[in-house]
Amino acid sequence: MKKPLGIILVIGALVLGYLGYTKLDSGKAEIKIGDLEISASDKDTKQEAYIYFGLAAVALIAGLMISRGKA
């Protein structure tokens, strides 16, 4: 019973990582004109992305530990 739960947590970690990456990528904008580059980012979106990354890391570690029988 532990192995399927570990696999589900690892898959969930991958999904959370992807969501965090897309949220981080969508929260910024850039304009390039010749040598001039202007960029802006949304602070709240960046913070949400880092929360997703943190949750993904926790789920990945827990999933790997459960599937290996350490927990």
What are the tens digits of pLDDT across the range 36-61?
888 887 888 889 999 999 999 999 99
Instruction: Give yes or no for residue 17 having a pLDDT over 90.
Output: yes
pTM: 0.78
Cβ neighbours of 35 (radius 10 Å):
5
Q: How far apart are CA 5 and CA 10, in angstroms?
A: 9
pLDDT of residue 38: 86
37 φ, ψ to 5°? -130, 125
pLDDT of residue 37: 87
